[in-house]
Structure 1
Amino acid sequence: MKHFVGLDISVKETAVCVVDETGRICHEVKVVSHPDDIIAVLKDSTWNVERVGLEAGPLSQWLFEGLARAGLPVICIETRHVKAFLKAQPNKTDRNDARGIAQMMRVNLFRPVHIKTLTSQKRRVLLTARKILQEKAIAIENDIRGLLRNFGRKVGAVGTAKFEDRIRELVECMPDLGQIMEPLLAARRKLREEFAHLHRQVLAITRNDATCRRLMTVPGVGSIVALAYAATIDIPQRFKNSKAVGPILGLTPRLDESGESKRVGGISLCGDGMTRTLLYEAAQVMLTHVKKWSWLKAWAMNVAKRRGLRKAIVALARRLAVVMHRMWLDNSEFQWTRETMASAV
């Protein structure tokens, strides 16, 4: 008889539930959230494990890799589907959640989530760490501005390089205030130095990566956008076509249809928020800063005339995601005119 397993994962413990083909609960236990402990339960000769389901989360990639390496048929399932399925339960507990996931595995009612390669995971961590340092440095700069404003000292518009000199200039006649600002400036300086260090790593990766270099031929797409996109898509062949990339990144409209009512809302905002934001910024740069004309910019400008600039930027971000995916599959660079595209084909 086949058995199906549901795992409800928390930081310390994981609830394990094993059910058979009829849905009968065969075994329930809580173990430490570590691949070895879970494998010790599932490798028992009593169980003929057909599928093991776990919800996507902070520990899911690590646990998935460990269980898959042990030869278990593990599947990572989408969080929204799990929540919708488990919502019918009157009481939410770890044990009930594990039971629900096991039943999802048994009836084959789930949507699998792609687990990224180790290289893409590391690149994503690099981009996230870089973003954190940048945000913290900006937060300290804004705090310094606010503190000095209480004493009538206005920093004004100043670049990153000259920020520290400007602060010292403002507090020059107030030594006690300058002593208070000095630790903040030192913290900000350290954050900026480490941010520059991580940024150089990003530039080095994109410089040596053929895929990123091709993606960067698109106007408005720089090193950060290219690396984030490559780390998010990971394996381009996992999409049935290039148009499927838009919904994955949350750049397609949300549709609410019931009977005669049909409402098209804003974009869904599901999926990777960082890549979605970066694509939006790249589209904005193409429309407002890139002077060289291209067929893609012409298309977006026509959308802007009909729907407005903001919607045109969102539409262009979605089109960028599609075009970049096709370029990746075809190993081609960006074609500025449609005539060039036709001749290339």
Structure 2
Amino acid sequence: MKHYTGLDVSVKETAICIVDETGKICREVKVSSHPDDLIAVLRDPAWNLERVGLEAGPLSQWLFEALARAGLPVICIETRHVKAFLKAQPNKTDRNDARGIAQMMRVNLYRPVHVKTLTSQKRRALLTARKLLQGKAIAIENDIRGLLRNFGLKVGNVGAVKFEERIRELVDNMADLQEVMDPLLTARHKLREEFSRLHKKVLDISRNDEMCRLLMTIPGVGPVVSLAFTSTIDIPQRFKNSKAVGPILGLTPKLNESGESKRVGCISLCGDAMMRTLLYEAAQTLMINVRKWSWLKAWAMNIAKRRGMRKAIVALARRLAVIMHRMMSDGTEFCWTRDDLPAAI
């Protein structure tokens, strides 16, 4: 008889529920959220495991990789589908959630989620840490501006390089304000220093990666965007076609249809927020800063004339995602003219 397992993972403990083909609960147990403890339970010869369901979450990549390496039929499932399925239960507990996931595995009512390779996970961690340091440094700079504004001291339009020099110039004759600003400037300097170190690492990886160099032939796409896209897509073949990338990144409009009512709203904003932001910035750079003309810029400019610049940038961001996926799939460089342009793009 086949058995199906549901895992409800939390930081400390994981609830395990094993059911048979008829839906009868065979075993329920809680163990530590560590691969060794989970494998010890699931490798019991009494179970003929057909599917092991694991909800996508902070520990899912680590646990999925270890369970798959142990030869278990583990499947990472989408959080939204799990939430909708479990919402019918009156009481939410770890035991009930594990039972619900096990039943989802039994009736084959789930949507699998791709678990990225270890290389993509490490690159993603690098980009996340880089963005975090940059955001903290900018937050301190804004706080400094706000503190000095209370005393009538205006920093003005100054770049990151000369920011500290400008602040020290403003508080030069105010010893009490200098004592307040010095710790903030020191913290900001350290954040900027570590950000530069991580940014250099991003540049080095992009420079030595063949796929990143290929994507950087697209106008507006730099090292950060190319590295983020390759780590987000991971394996291009997991998409049925290039046009499927747009909805995954939340760059297509939402549709609300009921009876005779049909409303098309703004973009869905689902999926990877960081990648979506980077694609928007790349599209903005292409339309405003890139001077060399291309068919892609002409296409976006025509949309801007009809629908406005903002909608044109969003449409261009979606098309950039389609083009970059196609380039990853077939290994071709960006076509500046429409000659020899792939039909699907």
Please state which band the TM-score falls in when normalised by the shorter chain: over 0.9
Identity in percent: 79
- Structure 2 counterpart of 1:141: 141
Measure the CA separation in 2 of the matches of 1:46 and 1:262: 53
Q: 1:81-120 to 2 correspondence within 5 Å?
A: 81-120=81-120
Amino acid at match of 2:52: V
- Structure 2 counterpart of 1:9: 9
Q: 1:60-99 to 2 correspondence within 5 Å?
A: 60-99=60-99
- Structure 1 counterpart of 2:153: 153
- Structure 2 counterpart of 1:29: 29
- Structure 2 counterpart of 1:315: 315
Residue 308 of structure 1 deviates from its aligned partner by 1.5
Residue 260 of structure 1 deviates from its aligned partner by 2.0
Amino acid at match of 2:115: I
Match status 1:240 vs 2:240:
yes
Q: Helix, strand or coil for the counterpart of 2:160?
A: coil
Q: 1:293-332 to 2 correspondence within 5 Å?
A: 293-332=293-332
Measure the CA separation in 1 of the matches of 2:340 and 2:50: 51
Q: Helix, strand or coil for the counterpart of 1:339?
A: coil
- Structure 2 counterpart of 1:261: 261
- Structure 2 counterpart of 1:184: 184
Measure the CA separation in 2 of the matches of 1:330 and 1:73: 31
Residue 289 of structure 1 deviates from its aligned partner by 1.3
Residue 339 of structure 1 deviates from its aligned partner by 1.7
Amino acid at match of 1:265: G
Amino acid at match of 2:328: W
Count of residues paired in the alignment: 343
Amino acid at match of 1:37: D
Query: Alpha-carbon deviations, 1:176-221, whole Å to 9, x = none?
Result: 2112211111110000000000000000000000100010111111
Q: Helix, strand or coil for the counterpart of 2:324?
A: helix
- Structure 2 counterpart of 1:124: 124
Amino acid at match of 2:104: M
Match status 1:207 vs 2:207:
yes
Amino acid at match of 2:249: L
Residue 248 of structure 1 deviates from its aligned partner by 0.9
Query: Alpha-carbon deviations, 1:37-91, whole Å to 9, x = none?
Result: 1111111111110000010000000000111111000000000111111111111
Name stretches of at least 5 consecutive residues in structure 1 with no aligned partner: none
Measure the CA separation in 2 of the matches of 1:296 and 1:212: 20
Amino acid at match of 1:71: G
Measure the CA separation in 1 of the matches of 2:218 and 2:207: 15
Moved more, 52-61 or 304-313: 304-313
Measure the CA separation in 2 of the matches of 1:251 and 1:51: 33
Amino acid at match of 1:128: T
Amino acid at match of 1:104: M
Amino acid at match of 2:97: D
Measure the CA separation in 1 of the matches of 2:192 and 2:307: 40
Q: Helix, strand or coil for the counterpart of 1:254?
A: strand
Residue 341 of structure 1 deviates from its aligned partner by 3.0
Measure the CA separation in 1 of the matches of 2:8 and 2:258: 33
Q: Helix, strand or coil for the counterpart of 1:271?
A: coil
Measure the CA separation in 2 of the matches of 1:285 and 1:109: 43
Measure the CA separation in 2 of the matches of 1:83 and 1:280: 30
Measure the CA separation in 2 of the matches of 1:226 and 1:123: 11
Q: Helix, strand or coil for the counterpart of 1:341?
A: coil
TM-score by length of structure 2 reads: 0.98
Measure the CA separation in 2 of the matches of 1:249 and 1:282: 15
Amino acid at match of 2:205: I
Residue 120 of structure 1 deviates from its aligned partner by 0.3
Measure the CA separation in 2 of the matches of 1:170 and 1:145: 11
CA RMSD after TM alignment:
1.1
Measure the CA separation in 1 of the matches of 2:231 and 2:163: 33
- Structure 1 counterpart of 2:251: 251
Measure the CA separation in 2 of the matches of 1:16 and 1:84: 20
